[in-house]
Amino acid sequence: MRNEHKPVLLDETIEYLNCKEDGIYVDGTLGRGGHTAALLENIEDEGLVISLDRDLEAIEAVKESIESSNLILEHANYINIGEVLEKHDIDKVDGMIFDLGVSSPQLDNSNRGFSYQKNGPLDMRMNRDQKLTAADIVNKYRKEKIEEIIYDYGEDNWASRIAEFIVAYRKKKKIETTFELVDIIKAAIPASARRSGGHPARRTFQALRIATNNELNQLEDMITGAVEQLKSGGRICIISFHSLEDRIVKHKFRELASDCICPPEIPVCMCDKEPIVKVITKSPIRATEEEIEENYRARSAKLRVAEKI
Ligand SMILES: C[S@@+](CC[C@H](N)C(=O)[O-])C[C@H]1O[C@@H](n2cnc3c(N)ncnc32)[C@H](O)[C@@H]1O
């Protein structure tokens, strides 16, 4: 339904966080507040939830829907968690949740330009204060860079042809809308290839969204920063929706958990690295069939959890 977002892997996340009544928790990706509401239900009056979103619309919507004196809402990027906590005089927290990607209301609102199924301005900015839009990328970036984005972030084998068609089109007219881009992509992918693998524009739209919002680079920085803000025994839960994100989470957790980062050719450890976290989920937690039946988005969700040592 429009402007609603069904939280994914909610029970599992709350269970892993093991909430304390007087605990302080961060929801780094507020969305429509599904995980935030569950956190609030699991703390008492002495507890606190600090929820961030870089999309002001999410903050405004939750201000209307959740009323709690135990909730602090901040329009902020999750890479700035440290500053947000400092602003509220909070040193360390008991747990954190990050539910990555876009929310259903962002996809549903044609004005946001995230969806290949709705016509609107080719925008895709989660934070509308940001300058760079998806239209800037397709209209201004070099062909090679556009191809790289579609290939790397969309894993689309037609990346080169799609980039070629984008550049040919923009010589005649600026690409302004989502449907203009969908038509360009459809023209670039041969009809035989278009018959399989879902909507032909899905991968390119995913790639442009990731590039516009710098999602993957920020994810890595966020994990390093977030873990620093955890109390010993505190847990970080990250839900990702595609393999590129999950790979980053897996590798970053593994790096933080390792006691040596020496290159393999060095026979004796010289780095003195101490493990910072313990990985709790050896393999990612997936949604149950029941949840997937109720919420199709859950089919690709993967939850990974680490605990600060
Ligand atoms: C999948 S939704 C979260 C849904 C939420 N858990 C719920 O149950 O309603 C992801 C949200 O994270 C936000 N977001 C994505 N990247 C962010 C970042 N770097 N900093 C802050 N918020 C971010 C998006 O704007 C979006 O609202």
pLDDT tens digit sequence for 66-83? 999 999 999 999 999 999
Residues 5-26, mean pLDDT to the nearest whole number: 97
- Is ligand 1 within 6 A of the CB of residue 99? yes
Q: Same domain for 227 and 302?
A: yes
The amino acid sitting at 101 is: G
Q: Same domain for 179 and 221?
A: no
Q: Same domain for 173 and 34?
A: no
Ligand 1 centroid vs 23 CA: distance in angstroms? 22
DSSP per residue, 243-289: HHHHHHHHHHHHHHH-S----TT-SS--S-----EEES-SS-EE--H
Return the CATH number at 164: 1.10.150.170
What does the pLDDT look like over 256-265, one tens digit per residue?
999 988 888 8
Which of 161, 184, 212 is at the close of a domain?
A: 212
- Is ligand 1 within 6 A of the CB of residue 34? yes
Query: Atom of ligand 1 at shortest distance to CA of 126?
Result: 25
Top mutation candidate among 103, 214, 223, 297 for ligand 1, by most atoms within 8 Å of CB: 103
Q: Which domain holds residue 146?
A: 131-212
Count of domains forming the chain: 2
pLDDT of residue 21: 97
- Whether residue 35 is contained in a domain is answered as yes
Distance CA 213, CA 216 (A): 9
Q: Same domain for 196 and 229?
A: no
Query: First vs last Cα of the chain: how many Å apart?
Result: 41
Q: Same domain for 98 and 228?
A: yes
pLDDT of residue 180: 98
Q: Give, for 236, the enclosing helix (H) or strand (E).
A: strand 230-240
What does the buried/exposed string (b/e) look like for 222-243 if buried means 16 or more CB atoms within 10 Å of the residue's CB? bbeebbebbeeebbbbbbbbbe
